[in-house]
Amino acid sequence: MSWLTDLQGVNNATRSVSLPSQRISEDGVVRPAALEAAKQGNQVATGTRNRVVRLLPFITALVDIVVITVSLLLAVAWRNSIHMPGQVPGFDAGHRLGIYAPTILAGWLAVTWIMGGYRSDVFGAGVDEYKRVLYASGVAAALTGLVSYLAKEQVPRGFFLIAFTLGAVLLLLSRYVMRQLIQRARAMGHLGYRVVIVGTEGHVDEMGGVLKRESWLGYNVIGAVLPTCGRKSETSGGISLLGDAAAVAEIAMIAQADIVFLAGGAFDSATQLRQVAWDLENEDIQVMVAPSVTDVSNERVRFRPVGGMPLIHIDKPRGQRAIRWAKRSFDFFGALALIIAFSPIFAFAAIRIWLNDRGPVIFKQPRAGRDGKEFECLKFRTMVTNAEELLAELHEQQGYEGGLFKMDNDPRITKPGAWLRRFSIDELPQLFNVLRGDMSLVGPRPPLGREVAQYDDFARRRLAVRPGMTGLWQVSGRSDLSWEEAIRLDLYYVDNWSMFQDLSILLRTFSAVFGSKGAY
């Protein structure tokens, strides 16, 4: 019996399984052309990738052994170099290290393993890996203290504090470095997971777009499965169709998928989903349910099983938190400190601008602030004095249709202006806008009035908070991003605001500025 006949039997002949264009494979079995191509085109690469992915936990464990060992050696050296009150006399580095180090090392690794610090699904994304490592370090420290107390073994306090504090920091740092390497490899097409998405065409294309955009996650979409795909060979978004949802398990196994993503509309009932999980129980294929929710931070998501159903609780958007006194206080004192620190740069930039053409040093431009209220945004002047008069002509030349207007090699930019823009020094006067309360250190960039006039209801939400000197889109590509992507990042910031996110963006801003990527 052919493969097509087997699939038709899944529904007990109650309905036929329609498949896109078919091909007879080398073994004489009739399969969809896209499915046969997915099966044949990546067998060698998949085997190599699987071996590397399986080795990640072992590689990580080896790195942890080195990091913990270094932490213990440094703790012994540091403790012996200082005198602490109540210090245990006669602490010999070599002798004591031989007693404590192997036990602490083994216990630390064991606790990390038990708490899931070496699970392959925590590598590469999310904060779960860091939490597990940090919690494991705390538990290992507590167990060490408890065992030493019960055994009446005097572990020097200095050694104990330094070893676990330094060890936890170095472990987190090493995991961060490894994550950067993994993400870079995945962005280049390595160490990825082969993904089949199941759902309605709209949900499949939406999910496929997210996974393609976030290539560092390593989810490579090899095809899609629709409830009924008819004779189509691909979705509107260009994802190859592998068959109907009635045969998800068989399709995933033949396509050698690593993950089956179940998007919206995949099945008519929970029973069908359970059947897929049963069919893949003995296969090395994960089943992941992707709810129809995007751009929500993990701090706003909570899972709560109720009656056997995993309910997803989504907290309210956090836009209102971004306008409260805590953020305002941080902005005021942060801007004041930066103005004092950058005062020599202010003076140098002002002199260069004035000497170039004897024109005004500061450029004041009306911008839309919170709730669309207009204010004067301050910048060092980087363009010729008649720049606004030349703007209409440039709009026509560039085919401007709306949104932020940016162009490479803008002829209106002066010689000192190019240098100021390269390192975003032209934005520094906006620190005074922050002091006045017109702007924030972090937030969506302040738009022009004519840009706000073109906003739809979706884009207008970016005006719910004070505009910022820097934001998510500045540290994610700056002018290289499309208008739609910039809006998406701004709305993500508004809805998922947190002080930790602000600090993270400020730190990433230095990297984006000094790298000068997308700055023009």
Task: List the single range of 56-70, 88-102, 105-119, 484-498 with lowest mean pLDDT.
Answer: 88-102
DSSP track, 105-162: HHHHHHHHHHTTTT-GGGSSSSSHHHHHHHHHHHHHHHHHHHHHHHTT----HHHHHH
Looking at every residue in the chain, the average pLDDT score rounds to 79
What single DSSP character describes residue 240?
B
What pLDDT, on the 0 to 100 scale, is given for residue 406? 61
Task: List the single range of 49-53, 184-188, 325-329, 477-481 with lowest mean pLDDT.
Answer: 477-481
What pLDDT, on the 0 to 100 scale, is given for residue 27? 44
Residue 101 pLDDT greater than 80, yes or no: no
What pLDDT, on the 0 to 100 scale, is given for residue 297? 72
> What gap in Å lies between CA 121 and CA 284, rounded to an integer?
13
What pLDDT, on the 0 to 100 scale, is given for residue 213? 80
If one compares 147 and 32, the residue with the highest pLDDT of the two is 147
Helix, strand, coil % in the chain, rounded to nearest 5: 55, 15, 30
> What gap in Å lies between CA 214 and CA 52, rounded to an integer?
21
Confidence of residue 32 (pLDDT cuts 50, 70, 90): low
Is the CATH number of domain 17-36+192-294 3.40.50.720? yes
Distance of CA 240 to the CA centre of its chain: 26
Confidence of residue 398 (pLDDT cuts 50, 70, 90): low
What pLDDT, on the 0 to 100 scale, is given for residue 166? 92
Task: List the single range of 86-100, 328-342, 362-376 with lowest mean pLDDT.
Answer: 86-100
Please state the domain extents for the chain. Answer: 17-36+192-294, 50-187, 321-515
- pLDDT (mean) for 6-28: 40
What pLDDT, on the 0 to 100 scale, is given for residue 10? 36
- Within a 10 A sphere around the Cβ of 151, how many other Cβ atoms? 9
Task: Supply φ then ψ for residue 214, to 5 degrees.
Answer: -95, 65
Residue 496 pLDDT greater than 80, yes or no: yes
Q: Which of 37-51, 190-204, 397-411 has the highest mean pLDDT?
A: 190-204
First to last CA, the chain: 63
Residue 451 pLDDT greater than 60, yes or no: yes
Residue 313's contacts (CB-CB under 8 Å, 6 or more residues apart) are 301, 302, 303, 304
| Distance (Å) of CA 152 to CA 1, 104, 146, 147, 282 | 73, 16, 10, 8, 49
- Within a 10 A sphere around the Cβ of 162, how many other Cβ atoms? 20
